[in-house]
Amino acid sequence: FASSFGGLQDTHPAYPYVDGFREITILENDRERLSLIEKWHTDMTFRPNPPLGSILHGVIIPEGGLGDTEFLSLSAALEALPDDLKTRLAGLEAEHSFEHGFRESLAAPGGRERLAAALRDNPPVYHPVVRTHPTSGWQCLFVNCLFTTKIVGMEDAESDALLQQLFEHVEKEEFRCRFKWQENSVAFWDNRITQHRPVNDYWPHHRKLQRITIDGDRPFYAP
């Protein structure tokens, strides 16, 4: 099914995969394996060509309605900004960093050794702050608090303040929806124009999802 939409990405640099199917990433947490990703993000923006989208399959779901996934619309978030701020953002670029996004994993015992190849293979990259969707032509914000570290060409204080403003803006309730998992549920989202985050309210229960990710193109801005 996923291959109907494009090429499939190989193994994720930080997660295990299903034996015999390198394209299928395992996202599994329980009492011993805590979820370290809690922030809103667009998947793998630390790559030059972030994914087009991902398909997520619920294999083991905690009982009682726990472990949902929230999504938000980056096009709606951009549209809601004041016109002068939209003009200011147009044409800017921001840095996205694997090291920044996986800093908790890297700080764990043995983390830098385990992820040494991923660090080597994923240096910081630069993407437009406002991205044009390649199919619809819609404009959207393309920064996220997990991987975006700074805006190119700005002093650190100005960059930090602007990014924090944007991070807080996109998280507003008016841009969100919530996906409630059941066993064998499937979620499919456009990674180019959304963010998501897990709701980590299920510890110490067992939650296991499997994800397959579709190749994307290099982000661009077209006025």
Rounded distance between C-alpha atoms, residue 82 and residue 151, angstroms: 19
Catalytic status, residue 41: yes
Among 12, 41, 176, 197, the active-site one is 41
Strands (E), the chain: 17-18, 21-29, 53-60, 69-73, 93-96, 125-128, 130-132, 139-141, 148-151, 176-179, 186-190, 194-198, 207-214
Q: Which of 213, 210, 188 is nearest to 60 (CA)?
A: 210
Among 12, 43, 131, 190, the active-site one is 43
Among 47, 127, 131, 211, the active-site one is 211
Residues, the chain? 223
Among 12, 192, 196, 207, the active-site one is 196
Q: Which residues of 177-211 are buried (b: 16+ CB within 10 A; e: fewer)?
A: eeeebeeeeebebbbbbbbbbbbbebbebbbbbbb
Catalytic status, residue 96: no
Active site residues: 41, 43, 196, 211
